[in-house]
Structure 1
Amino acid sequence: MRTLLRLARALAWLTAVLLIAVGVGGVATAATPVPDEQHRPELYARAEAALAPGLAAITIDLEALQVQAERLATTSRRALVDLAARDAEAVSGDLDAGDAIVLEVGTLATRVDAALRRLPYGVASDRLGPRMQARLVAVVDAVDAVRPLAGDWGRLSGAAVPAISITSHLEQHDVTAFEATQEGAAGRYAAALERLTGATAELDAAQVIRDRLAQSVDTSTLDAWIERNRTYDAALVRLYTALEVSPDNATPEILAAFAEVEAAQKLLPPDTRALIVIIGDLAQGGLNQAAIAVEEARGALTAAVAAVH
């Protein structure tokens, strides 16, 4: 009887030990993560290898895109310098160069975007590891960074053209008006009046551009420049008209016109510094802002390209 009891107790104890072992094994099994793509990088290595050739080609185009963005930023800075120097020919060259760069940027960006779409796996694919996903996001960011460049350059060009046109008209006016006074001093009054007609045409052309810009920039300095030169030109016209009628006698009309010329001349700017102020006023209408936007886009592209590598 005792033997049977001992056997029963032993059997119960063995059963309890087995149950505990099974329970512990179950806990250990539950605590062990099931191998998956998130915890086993080697499982998505094959997918990333499939991306390698396409991504390498994209990287080459991104580096070329970065070079073009650097060139555009340099060109925009040079355009500002040339504009401040009132070098119309240099500004025109800057704008032509910038237009060509913008076209190349657009071509490269389109090519990168198309190549990105042709990759076998996209940014959100769960077949790719976090680092590869981040590299693809950087490619998207790089393309997005250059999308505004065409518009930014267009605004810069759109602001530079009227600025240089206005200053060119004002400078040509001064040259033509001076030539008129030289003709008048030589007694060639008809020729002087003809020159003044040309000078007035230059002011009229500047006025047309001014009227287009008046809603977006401060034209007060420009308005004063135009108005004072119109007053001076009108006084010269009255003087030379009177002299043409009576070249040998100082009539009251001639004396009055001469006094008007002297008074108007005193109100003219003594040098071309006012033109620099005028250009600065026009630049506030978008020229500086556009140049800054180009620089910001270049910086964003540089950061994105660095993240792709």
Structure 2
Amino acid sequence: MSNSAMSVVILAAGKGTRMYSDLPKVLHTLAGKPMVQHVIDAANDLGACAVHLVYGHGGDLLRQTLHEDNLNWVLQAEQLGTGHAMQQAAPFFNDDEDILMLYGDVPLISVETLQRLRAAKPQGGIGLLTVKLDDPTGYGRITRENGQVTGIVEHKDASEAQRQIQEINTGILIAGGADLKRWLAKLTNNNAQGEYYITDIIAMAHQEGHQIVAVHPQRLSEVEGVNNRLQLARLERVYQAEQAEKLLLAGVMLRDPARFRSARYAAARARCRDRY
């Protein structure tokens, strides 16, 4: 378990072409709040010393919308992969802190899951969030030897045997600042996509003898990303159902549990009703 200070990097540079909107993808709202704000809130709840927001498309609008004192704005002018995005933020990493990597379009990641991931990170190693899917098509596969994580192979680079692996990478990980900077400096784009994959650092860590510990989220919805409006609508329904369940179990009356703005809004309405 790591007792180091921690900073968070949120990748939010994607344009979101499949949203068919001029609005940056991460500013589309879920339960009345931009997706990326949900992620920023989670980072703040974890006690992050700093939040590095890697942006590209729609930077001016992002700055106008998000008002956080501890946000460090990091420009990724060209989108050349997740590893490239992290390379832009690397100059801001302290050697003696942990760096948690999150995504602005994965809005339902829970603080509880991230706390478990942070606690599981071994000294000098990597904590990695993974899930098992019945159909893992398109996702990076987790490779193991004798039960130990040894690497991640992206779908387009995977062999037929590797494509049978059901455990996949969610993209969320935590590593030490000094180690992460060293690994990021070694990344190449020698792959089918011609991009710099952050996933390549897993094999680097393994080759150096560092342990990689995999942790699973409590719910699959926590690691589901949004690429189109249908996925956003589905995640909003999941969020509403989860919040409704919490409120109902706490004794709050909801006329329609399937539709309300947020848990805070519903709780406030409940407190107002209790006054009369």
The TM-score normalised by the length of structure 1 is 0.22
Q: Looking at secondary structure, tell me which structure has more strand per residue.
A: 2
Which has the larger Rg? 1
Q: Looking at secondary structure, tell me which structure has more helix per residue.
A: 1
Greater relative contact order (Cα 8 A, min sep 6): structure 1 or 2?
1
